[in-house]
Amino acid sequence: MKWKGRFEGYHLQSLQKDCISSLIVGIIAIPLGMAFAIASGVKPEYGLYTTIIAGILISLAGGSRLQIGGPTGAFVPILFGIVVQYGYENLLIAGILAGILLILMGLLKLGALIHYIPRPVTIGFTAGIAVIIFSGQIANFLGLSDIEKHEAFIANMKEIVLHLGSVNPYSVITASLCLALILITPRVLPKVPGSLIGLVLSSVAATIFFDGQVATIGSTFGRIPSTLPAFHIPDITLDRVVQLLNPALVIAVLGGIESLLSAVVADGMTGDRHNSNRELIGQGVANVITPLFGGIPATGAIARTATNIKSGAVSPISGMLHGLVVLLVLLLFAPYAARIPLASIAPILMVVAWNMSERAHFAHTLRTRSGDSIVLLITFALTVFVNLTVAVEAGLVLAMILFVKRMSDSLTVAKVLPNRSGRQEKLEAATVTDNHDCPQISIITIEGSLFFGAASAFEESIRRLIREDPNIVLLRMGLVPHIDTTGEAKLAKLVKACKNQNKLVLVSGLQFQPKEILQRTGLAATIGPVHMFERTGDAIAYALARVEPNKCVGCRHYAFRECEQLSERTP
């Protein structure tokens, strides 16, 4: 049987491949789902609900064929902060609002804009999130008791230091065993998920040897129900919506970034091309519906998506089936999950944090010792010590400022003259000297975007270059790809000043966008169509025909070929 669209060419062998990959990914997703939920400050079953419902919906409605969705580490600090500040019920509302925002972003075709977020910003906040996740599991790894969780990183670290005397050796042994199994399993059994082996075997060992000595999911959160929760609409009020709009926006933006980055990774591995706007809509639908069943916000999971592809998945059915695998495990084995030690969950999250930390990219960006390094460090520090919202906002603003500075510095304005020693007589700045310059014609080459960040520098440079008071100013603008309204205003000011001083302004080589702007604003008409040229050579010929002959007599600058003849004329 063959289906059209995303399932074109689908057949029985494809279904077999999808079943195998969904089983592998589903098994991997179970411990991760519970771990991310616990780290986010909610009950572990909510992570499983998210894995099931969001996993199915993201694969069904998303724009990436092999994307796997669910709870991810990127959301941990955001969700934990919302739970601490507003509570679980409001977290569900924030998730629904984020889903609506994601749908709107997709409908407005904003998917491509996500790709314009600077790499140092994404590396910075990802590394910061990794530090938060890793440090947040130290207490469970050591089995510390009476720990009070805080939203602030410093407060949490202080809490750990104050309670180091309560280290539980049984928790340390359990966590160390799980960590060792996670690290060893991929080397011995590459196709078996190390996190699952570590979780199961360390839990069994703790049950046999340390029963009652180690904190478990059951002792901390109670038993895990073996059913999905009933459909429930949270109490959404206008006050709550206003209160949660900012957290929801952060969830939506981060969810969009994470899902599209995951989709890009999937494209690179398969040669596919995802639909970014459809992906945002699919993520939005999943995040609107999942909280109605008690689930937390979800997004595309890069590691699980990569595993799905490596396991042979060929269609979105693998993602849908992976959700059903988790559902089946929930129905059959939920009572046993209560015996899982928190010390077994801790190393799973620590390894996830280590893998998502972008260590190589972080170090590489620092080695550049550029503005990107500053953006990276500030975003990272603010993520860890303040919060992700401030970090992303500050990182983006700083990146924009640095970009404007770079673009401003890239604009060059130089007076040029023909290099008569060469065959083609190219216009060069080096040709202009105190003894070799035309008193009547100033040819000025402008290179770079003429926008708000460079407009003042442009104005100052022009003023300096034409201080000799020439009769004719020729602006070579063939290397100006873009002009904004600020740049146009500065150019108009120059033209007006020249006209007030009876100077002739010529323009050559305008590209499409600058020409269109000048026509729309009326500046092209002010300059005059006859004073705008496609080629600089034609503009120079036009200018030479309009110099004052008396000023040329006796001039020994010889800036142009015609100067010798003009210089020898009788006044």
Q: Are 380 and 275 contained in the same domain?
A: yes
Residue 228 located in a structural domain: yes
CA distances from 106 to 92, 183, 281, 291, 469 (A): 21, 39, 5, 20, 56
- Indicate the pairing of strand 441-447 with strand 472-479: parallel
pLDDT of residue 467: 66
Residue 445 located in a structural domain: yes
In CATH, what number is assigned to the domain containing residue 468?
3.30.750.24
Q: Are 165 and 31 contained in the same domain?
A: yes
For residue 446, give the nearest of 472, 478, 413, 473 by alpha carbon: 413
Residue 6 located in a structural domain: no
SS3 71: coil
Of 400, 424, 458, the residue that ends a domain is 400
Q: Are 295 and 419 contained in the same domain?
A: no
pLDDT of residue 122: 87
Q: Are 431 and 376 contained in the same domain?
A: no
Of 348, 372, 400, the residue that ends a domain is 400
Q: Per residue of the chain (571 residues), what is the pLDDT tens digit?
A: 334 456 666 778 888 989 988 998 998 899 999 999 999 999 999 999 999 999 999 999 999 989 999 999 889 999 999 999 999 999 999 999 999 999 999 999 988 877 788 889 989 988 998 899 899 899 999 999 888 888 889 999 999 999 999 999 999 999 999 999 999 999 998 878 888 899 999 999 999 999 889 999 988 888 888 888 889 999 999 999 999 999 999 999 999 988 988 888 888 888 888 899 999 999 999 999 999 999 999 999 988 998 899 888 899 999 999 999 999 999 998 888 889 999 999 999 899 889 888 899 999 999 999 999 999 999 999 999 988 888 888 999 999 899 888 888 889 999 998 887 766 778 888 888 878 888 888 999 999 999 999 998 898 888 888 766 788 999 999 999 999 999 999 999 999 999 998 899 999 999 999 999 999 999 999 999 999 999 999 999 999 888 888 888 878 778 888 787 777 655 5
Structural contact between residues 440 and 472, judged by C-beta atoms closer than 8 angstroms: yes
Q: Are 488 and 361 contained in the same domain?
A: no
Residue range of the domain that includes 451: 411-567
pTM score = 0.79
Residue 3 located in a structural domain: no
C-alpha 262/C-alpha 308 separation (Å) is 12
Residue 168 CB contacts under 8 Å (≥ 6 apart), including other chains? 142, 143, 144, 145, 213, 214, 215, 343
Residue 500 CB contacts under 8 Å (≥ 6 apart), including other chains? none
Tally the domains of the chain: 2
Residue 406 located in a structural domain: no
pLDDT of residue 10: 77
Residue 165 located in a structural domain: yes
Ramachandran angles phi, psi of 99, nearest 5°:
-60, -40
Q: Are 422 and 562 contained in the same domain?
A: yes
Chain mean position to CA 140? 32
Residue 324 located in a structural domain: yes
C-alpha 149/C-alpha 6 separation (Å) is 45
- Indicate the pairing of strand 504-508 with strand 532-533: parallel
Residue 1 located in a structural domain: no
Q: How is residue 109 written in tokens?
A: 């075709």
Structural contact between residues 300 and 99, judged by C-beta atoms closer than 8 angstroms: no
Of 342, 369, 400, the residue that ends a domain is 400
Q: Are 222 and 242 contained in the same domain?
A: yes
Q: Are 367 and 415 contained in the same domain?
A: no
Q: Are 262 and 135 contained in the same domain?
A: yes
C-alpha 35/C-alpha 171 separation (Å) is 16
Q: Are 351 and 483 contained in the same domain?
A: no
pLDDT of residue 1: 34
Q: Are 132 and 274 contained in the same domain?
A: yes
Q: Are 450 and 552 contained in the same domain?
A: yes
